[in-house]
Amino acid sequence: MPEPSPSPDARGKFLLPVVGLLVLALLVGAGATMWLGGSLADGPAVGGSFSLLDGDGKRVTDRDLRGKYALVYFGYTFCPDVCPTTLNQVSEALDRLGTKAGQVRPVFITIDPARDTPAVMKQYVSAFTPRLLPLTGSDAEIADVARKFRVYYAPHRTGDQPGDYTMDHSSVLYLMGPEGKFLAPLRADAPARELAENLSKQLK
């Protein structure tokens, strides 16, 4: 007779996500600690190569962003509170920078690709500033770019329907240099004036 207890294989399947979550939690904790210490630029690499889709479904890679500073934010369009607040502060901060703003390209990468198709992203960002570049991709492409930027994200169920969920996600602005190198994390909840000052210090 076969053993009634679960096979080692089944236990492995259960353990894997648990271990994965623990590792993620450690990474998030380590990341937060380094940001607080202000030494992330000297720490593990942030950023790297990616290939995603813009609002028209056209491929955009990290190479296409070279030549300008990039201010990268990860979020999602079904987010009614924090994401629009951040994107509006980014937009107002760039307005405050005047001509210097031309050196910076703000980028909004979704961590909810199931809902955020190129068309949805295009409509969403158009409400903020025409400067804002929306990027989405397949689940795998988003997982890859999020891992490279050390962004944590996970769905949080709010009901029984498939669409009943919101996303937990790291809320940080990443300033990348014209060569694609990570320069500094900026507070996503800072007022536009403070964000503009911090940006201005970093720009050449």
Partner 1 sequence: MKFLVSAVLLLASFFPVPGFAADARTIRLENAFTRSAPAGGVGAFYVTIVNTGAADRLVAVASPVAGKAELHESVSVGGVMRMRGVADLAIPAGGTVKLAPGGYHVMLIALTQPLTVGQSVPVTLTFEKAGAVEARASVAKPGAIAP
CA 188 to chain centre: 11
By the rule CB under 8 A, 198 interacts with partner 1: no
Stretch that binds partner 1, among 48-56, 57-65, 134-142, 162-170 (CB under 8 A): 162-170
* Least Å from the CB of residue 57 to partner 1: 19
Q: Do 139 and 153 form a contact (C-beta atoms < 8 A)?
A: no
Name residue 107's beta-bridge partners: 72, 133
By the rule CB under 8 A, 108 interacts with partner 1: no
By the rule CB under 8 A, 101 interacts with partner 1: no
Binding partner 1 (rule: CB under 8 A), the pick from 3, 8, 14, 156 is 156
Interface pattern 6-45 for partner 1 (x via CB under 8 A): ----------------------xx-xx--x----------
Q: Could you give the CA distance from residue 108 to residue 133 in angstroms, rounded to a whole number? A: 6
Residue type for 154, please? A
* Least Å from the CB of residue 82 to partner 1: 5
Q: Could you give the CA distance from residue 78 to residue 91 in angstroms, rounded to a whole number? A: 19
Binding partner 1 (rule: CB under 8 A), the pick from 60, 73, 145, 170 is 170
CB-wise, 70 or 86, nearer to partner 1?
86
CA triple 45-83-86, angle to 5 deg: 75
In the region spanning residues 171 to 190, those forming contacts with partner 1, defined by CB under 8 A, are: 171-172, 189
Q: Could you give the CA distance from residue 41 to residue 185 in angstroms, rounded to a whole number? A: 9
Residues, the chain, total?
Answer: 204
DSSP SS3 for 153 = strand
Distance spanning both ends of the chain, measured CA to CA: 74
By the rule CB under 8 A, 117 interacts with partner 1: no
Binding partner 1 (rule: CB under 8 A), the pick from 108, 128, 149, 182 is 128
Q: Do 65 and 104 form a contact (C-beta atoms < 8 A)?
A: no
Which residues contribute to the site for partner 1 (CB under 8 A)?
A: 28-29, 31-32, 35, 77-82, 84-89, 91, 123, 127-128, 152, 156, 158, 166, 168-172, 189
